[in-house]
Amino acid sequence: MVWPGLHCRVSVTPLKNSDPSAKAPFRPVLNFPQVIFLEIGLAICMPKELFGTDGIRGVPGTAPLDDATLYATGRSLGAYLRRENPKPHVLIGMDTRESGPHIAALLAAGLAQSGASVAFAGVITTPGVACLVRQSDFQTGVVVSASHNPFYDNGVKLFSHAGIKFPDSVEEALEADIFNHRSGVPPKNVPTLVADESLDAEYLAFLRGRVIPGAKLAGLRIVLDCANGAAYKLGPELFRSLGADVVAIDASPDGRNINAGCGSLHLEGLQKRVVAERATLGVAFDGDADRALFVTETGRIVNGDGVLLAAARFLKSQNKLAGNRVVATSMSNLGLERALAREGISLARANVGDRYVLEEMLRSGSVLGGEQSGHIIFLDDSPAGDGLLTATKIASLVSLHGRLESLIDGFKDYPQVILNVKVRSKPPLDSLPEVSRALAEARSTLGESGRVVLRYSGTEPLARIMVEAEHDADVQRLSRSLAAALRSSIGA
């Protein structure tokens, strides 16, 4: 099956990390889990059935998050890990969804059945698990979370010992084995997992060590929107321990209010609170806190593009921006590319998804990359997009250089629209004549003064349309035309 924009990968993926400096700031080295690319553009690949762009996603109690599949996932993961280590040690963490404890317990039961031992971090951020796995003796990390999705969704994400999401090749191998094990009967009464709270302290110590030298957060008034998610305790604790005056909002999870009208997808409440509190800075996390968006003291929103610009300018001033290059995705605004160009910094674009940003960073030797949505990777510190780490870096820059708005001075966001169209299937986009005509018209109209990105979501039955241009009228007209063509051709 042909999937436009999908790259096939030939991967060599040794699971064990033999880097002796694993506890030091992250450095990409060849004996980390490697991904060697064979890029073939419009590739012929069979899509995975369980794993999407960010692990397994679904509605708990239904496939692929039914009990049998979850138990089989634990069994298959344990069996896979035992090929490298006869006694694998696995860390499991979760966000605040009410379905999390049951899913985590089923995965742990499957792992135990395959001979793996399990430690449970309880509620912790996704990048927190990635950090702990990399710094400790865990062979793999498992996160039970659906990130920014509503509470009724959940998911399973896997991290290697290097703190990197499993590559496609490993997920494909696991998927085949999961299907083989899915006929097994899961235990009726899985034991409740007990959290090891010392793991929080280890992760917080890592984050405190990532404050930019010379920065003093004491006296900064910061509003944190914790999305009633995984950062609800860790976020306020981190910044209070650094001396900041913290106002925490949406920090009372009840299992169902994660991401509900709050967090990085709903910034209106944070904007009002920052202005009302006369705060220096506002930060919004998503449910598992692997992304962070910001609000300035005047209420202006700064997304991942603005963060990349501010961080790139600082790193270049310190001669620490390798290759004077930043990695972003096809969704990042044209304004970022042009602002960076004025600074003598090039922008490389990867497919959407923080795993693909990381792959391009490792391939090109870049140290800074991320997504407009707020996944930012500071590779000298961690290979994982980490909202708390990003917030620590931006708060440090504000401490050193003043207001956040001044850090992104000269950045112009080109008018941009992102539309989601529900689809009943995902055929190759270039096989749909009406869609192809609308796309060709849009690209011809915009020329070099704008961009169009059309792709399928990796986790939902959606087609995503992004149009940006110098003039908003063009953006609105062309995005509506593309949406109409999609609805007519494959709309749900």
Cα distances (angstroms) measured from residue 205 to each of 232, 238, 245, 397: 17, 9, 19, 20
Encoded amino acid at 372, one letter: Q
483 contact partners, CB below 8 Å, separation of at least 6: 419, 421, 465
Enumerate residues 6+ apart whose C-beta is below 8 A from 203: 124, 125, 128, 131, 132, 234
**Triad 54, 58, 60: Cα angle to 5°:** 130
147 counts as catalytic:
yes
What whole-number distance in Å separates Cα of residue 435 and Cα of residue 57? 28
Structure tokens at 406: 């001044």
Please answer whether residues 244 and 271 qualify as being in contact, where contact means their C-beta atoms are separated by less than 8 angstroms. Answer: no
CB distance 307 to 374 below 8 Å: yes
User: Reading across the β-sheet that carries 325-329, which strands appear in turn?
Assistant: 346-350, 325-329, 368-370, 376-378
Radius of gyration of the chain (CA): 22
CA distances from 153 to 99, 194, 267, 293, 330 (A): 9, 23, 21, 22, 26
Catalytic residue among 76, 99, 147, 489: 147
**Sequential DSSP letters for 104-139:** HHHHHHHHHHTT-EEEEEEE--HHHHHHHHHHSS-S
Helix count and strand count (H, E) for the chain: 14, 18
Instruction: Please answer whether residues 417 and 454 qualify as being in contact, where contact means their C-beta atoms are separated by less than 8 angstroms.
Output: no
* Strand ranges (E), 66-108: 89-94
**Nearest residue to 13 (alpha-carbon basis) of 228, 171, 124, 138:** 171
Residues 6+ apart with CB under 8 A from 233: 123, 200, 251
Structural contact between residues 53 and 355, judged by C-beta atoms closer than 8 angstroms: yes
Partners of residue 154 on adjacent β-strands? 58
Asked if 326 and 368 count as a contact pair (C-beta separation under 8 A), the reply is: yes
d(CA 403, CA 162): 35
Pairing of strands 301-302, 292-295: antiparallel
The length of the chain, given as a count of residues = 492
Output 315-321 pairs: Cβ under 8 A, ≥24 positions apart: 315/367, 315/368, 316/343, 316/344, 316/345, 320/367, 320/380, 321/345, 321/367, 321/368
- Residues with a known catalytic role: 147
